[in-house]
Every structure is written in C-alpha cells, then in structure tokens.
Structure 1
Amino acid sequence: MKEYELHRLNDNQKRLAESNLQSALKYLDDLKQKYPRLLVVRLDLYYRAKHQQNKTLANLQSDRDKFLNNRHRYEYFDSLVGYVWCFEYGNKKTVHCHMLLLFDGKHRCKDEWIGRQLGERWEEITKGHGGYFNSNASDSKSRLRKWQASGGEYLDNLKQVFGVQRGQALMLMTHKNLLKGSNTLAVGMVKNTSKVGWANLQMQMHYFTKLEQAIPGEERPWIRCFGKGQVCTLSHH
C-alpha cells in the first residue's frame, strides 16, 4: 500500500472510531433514560490457541451472528434491552470479540450466572473451538475493584476520558462507593443514578472503539468491526 493510501486509511479509521464512539455514548444515554437500572454482562469471546490459525474475521462474524440470533430460545435473553460488540486483533488471541450485553435490571439479576451461560453458548456455537472470559465472575470483579482502589492507571483513564478535574472527582466518588460496598464497576447492576458506574460504562465505549489493536487492513474494508443493538428493537447488529 502506498504511503498516501495508508495515511488516508488511517484518517478514515480515526473518523470512523470517533463516529462509533459518539453513536455508542448516545445509545447508552438512551438506555439510561429508559431503564432505572441495567444488569451489564461483559464477555470476551475468542478461539482457543490450537484453532486460532484457521480462524478468520469472517469466521468470527459468522459465529457472532449465531450468538446473537435465535435469542428466543434462551430464557434469560427475554430481558435483553441492548448490546455493544467490537472485533479486535491481538497477538495472543488473534481475532476476538468483546461483547457488552445489557439486561433490564428490573427483571434480571445473577449476572455471573448469565455470563457463564452465555460463555457456554459461545463454546457450543463454535463446537468447542471457542473460549470466553467472563468479566462478571466474582474473582474478576475483585481484581477490578483492587485496580480501581489503587488509583494509578484507573485514575489516568478517568482523566484522559473526562478531563483532570472531573476525573479526580470521579476517583473520590469511586473510593467512597468502594468503602460503602456499592457497585463501582461497569459490570453487574448499574443504576442510572450511579455517576461512577455510568462513567465506567462510558469508558468501556472508549475502549470498544479504540484504534490500538486494529484489525488487519486486508480484512477491515469488508467486515464491520463495531456494532450495537437498537433501543427497543434488537434485530439490528
């Protein structure tokens, strides 16, 4: 690829990432206005090491479609009100998918169990070739809370996304909520009145639309790498 073509591709990717980010933030805000609380489940869906070399972005897209389709067959999906997904390429997991699923918190709880059920659904769809990481597992939540309490990288992320002054204020609120035992994470039950919880959900959208681990250029033009559902109607992906 010629240098000017590479620059144009990079510029287009930056514009697309910003457009995706603004769309995702508005999507979250629409859900926030509609539902007093959301049960948020975050999964990382990937292929196991011995199968990775035979898996392409097209395989991931097909399996992602199967994962989201036929939701009526699963009881816990009846309260699903939104979802956001992105494809990423990493050295360890090669092509993989980050998935954020949002359920009506009035009707659903037990997020760790739902995450496990969804992960097992992914394993079934991929015929055992796939694996998953459940961010709603209790040990994962514990690690995230320790990471928040330590400040450091977490505070840096808050400042980067929200600015220094608001980032520091959110850090103080996080510490107070941790001491009270309130949920400070972007997973689990997130009330629409929780400033810390929603700030972390917004940071998740920044992560989902980031550019650092770009999909290989030869595949990106042909396959969407980011998507979300629609408020009220979830047939679109």
Structure 2
Amino acid sequence: MSYPHIHQSKLISTIDLLVRDVLFGDIDISQVSVQLSKLYLPLIENYDPALKYMPTIKAFKKSTKKVMDNPHSQTHRWGYYNTNRFIDYLQTHKNSIVTKDRSLSRKEKNHSKSLETDLRISFKKHSRLLFVRVDLFYLKDTMYLVTIADLRRHLTKLRDFIGNKRTCFEGLVYNAIAIEQGHEHGYHCHVLLIYNGADRWKDTYLGQAVGEKWESITDGLGSYYNCNHPANKRAYEKSGTLGIGMISRHDEQAVENAIRTALYLTDPGKTDRYTDRLDQHLKVKLPKMQAFTRGIVKDKKKKKKHSSLNP
C-alpha cells in the first residue's frame, strides 16, 4: 500500500511530521494507525542506506521494524496494539531527536553570524552592491520524479556556472545558497547573488536569467520565483524593508535592510505555509552534502567593460 506518485521529499517530510506529532504534539492513536498503514511500506521499499536521514526518520524505521519483527504483528499490521508498541519504541528516540534539533539551531545561528560578517566586509570593499534573490524549486506535477540526488546534481551544475562567472553570473562577487525541504513544496533553494554594482545594475533581468538557467539545468522540471521583480520591490519599498537591488554603502538603512533580507536564508524561524511548522530543514541528504553554502566568487578573467556585462 503506497501513495501514487508520492515523491521522496513528501514521504520523508510526512514521516517527520508524524514522529514529531507523536513525541511532541497531540495526535489520536487512531490517526497514528492510519498514517503508519500509509507510510510504513513506502519507506521500507524506498529506504536507501547510502543516504543520511534525520533522527526522526531513523527512529520511525527502527521503531516500525521492532514491531514488525514479530510474525503476529506482520499479520495484523497497524491495529491498536501494534500502534501502541510503535509509540513506546519511538519514545526511546526522543532525546536523540531533541539533541539534533538543538544542534541544527546552533549551526544556523553560526551561519547567520558568518553570513552577516561576509556581507559587512563586502560593503567595505565595494561602494555599491547589487543584491539579487531567487527562489528555486520544482514543479508540483513532476516533483515525484526528483530525488535528493537529482537536487545535488542540479545544484552542482548551478555552482559550476557561478564559479565560471559566465552569462548571468558575470560580475558576481558573492553568493549564498540555502537548501530546504518543505512539506508540499519539496526540495527548494533560496539563492542570494551579490554583484559588483560598478559592473551590473539590471537586477530584475538577472533574477529572471538565473531562474531560466535553473529551468534549463533541470530539463524543465524546475521553476523559480524572482524576488527582484518590480512588483515585489515596490511592496518592499512601501513597507520600508527594501533590501534587494542596488545598495549603496553610504545608505545605512538600505545596507541594514539588505543584510536583514540576506539573513532570511539562515533564519530558523521560517515556517512551512502548508503545515505552519518551523522546521524546513533537510530530512535526508547525501553524504557530505551541505544544506548551506556561501563564498566569495573570485575573478578568473580580466575585468570587462561595464557595457559588456549589462544587456
């Protein structure tokens, strides 16, 4: 019994939510039984020991295995008795889950500090910086085709383009990418690109170009949201929070807005609009895969004339 076309991200995210509801929330045992009936076999069938799973997922797998190791349990599946046993086993993993959550929170705070430091140094080096923010994701109708391995492959190509500083990445001086996993939104990335304001100034075009590059990289599976679209910028400007586009280091308010906007990438308070949960961390990763990367983009070529960089 499995979901038709359930994608890897949705399966893992749903299990994470169930485990947290059992351990930290208020969920009726009958609902736990229903969820176990839907989720147990799909996870067992798709579990990949080569991947790194969050403690919630590992706790689910270990607890269900404990129950189903009994031949009697295999016959009766997820009735009241087996569900109670699952909950009892799950409780033994509570401390490891809490410990991991705290570790992730500390890591995000460190990322925020490092990112802010980088940005303030960048403003000391450049009198003007062009801030571009793009959200990259996958189309809902084809999301079931995308695995965490596909995401890494696509991001590797994107980072190669960034590192080579070609086309829409020319004039780039800094970048940061945060990978997240939403319950319905699946795997997605928040991307910050900062260009030398002396070389680039058409931020709306650049945001669109980066999004179209993502669509090409993903062979049409991906889509994007251009935060630098004029309508978005007008809304931010009206509220006094505009922190994208051209930012002069002499405009203190604009600089602080830009830093605040950039720090959204490492904000642990981001909620999933479908579940109203704070947790959008990756629940599954490939070995050595980093959920947040940042870095200065070094010049590999001689500086071109300004007119050659802008369309």
- Shorter-chain TM band: 0.7 to 0.9
1:145 corresponds, among 232, 237, 245, to 237
**8 Å Cα contact 1:27/1:231 also seen in 2:** no
What TM-score, normalized by structure 2, do the two folds share?
0.59
Query: Post-superposition shift, 1:220?
Result: 8.0
Once residues 165 and 95 of structure 2 are traced to their aligned partners in structure 1, the CA distance between those partners, rounded to angstroms, is: 49
Residue in 1 that maps onto 2:55: none
What TM-score, normalized by structure 1, do the two folds share?
0.76
Asked if residue 108 in structure 1 is aligned to residue 165 in structure 2, the reply is no
| RMSD value, Cα | 2.1
**8 Å Cα contact 1:31/1:231 also seen in 2:** no
Could you tell which deviates more after superposition, 59-68 or 96-105? 59-68
Which structure: larger Rg?
Answer: 2
* Structure 2 gap ranges (5+): 1-58, 60-92, 269-277, 301-311
**Aligned ranges for residues 50-199 of structure 1 at < 5 Å?**
50-71=141-162, 72=164, 74-146=166-238, 148=239, 174=240, 185-199=242-256
**8 Å Cα contact 2:131/2:192 also seen in 1:** yes
* Structure 1 gap ranges (5+): 149-173, 175-183
2:116 corresponds, among 12, 22, 25, to 25
Query: Post-superposition shift, 1:92?
Result: 3.5
Once residues 242 and 218 of structure 2 are traced to their aligned partners in structure 1, the CA distance between those partners, rounded to angstroms, is: 29
Query: Post-superposition shift, 1:9?
Result: 0.3
Once residues 47 and 200 of structure 1 are traced to their aligned partners in structure 2, the CA distance between those partners, rounded to angstroms, is: 29
Matching residue's letter, 2:236? L
Greater RCO (CA < 8 Å, at least 6 residues apart): 1
Residues 86-128 of structure 1, C-alpha deviations (whole Å, 9 max, x = no match): 0112233211000010000011111111111111111110011
Tell me, what secondary structure is at the counterpart of 2:149? helix
Once residues 176 and 102 of structure 2 are traced to their aligned partners in structure 1, the CA distance between those partners, rounded to angstroms, is: 24
Asked if residue 202 in structure 1 is aligned to residue 294 in structure 2, the reply is no
**8 Å Cα contact 2:131/2:258 also seen in 1:** no
C-alpha spacing 1:205/1:116, structure 2 compared with 1 (3 Å) = closer
Once residues 116 and 266 of structure 2 are traced to their aligned partners in structure 1, the CA distance between those partners, rounded to angstroms, is: 11
Query: Post-superposition shift, 1:219?
Result: 3.1
Could you tell which deviates more after superposition, 191-200 or 11-20? 191-200
Query: Between the two proteins, what is the percent identity of the paired residues?
Result: 28
Once residues 233 and 126 of structure 1 are traced to their aligned partners in structure 2, the CA distance between those partners, rounded to angstroms, is: 27
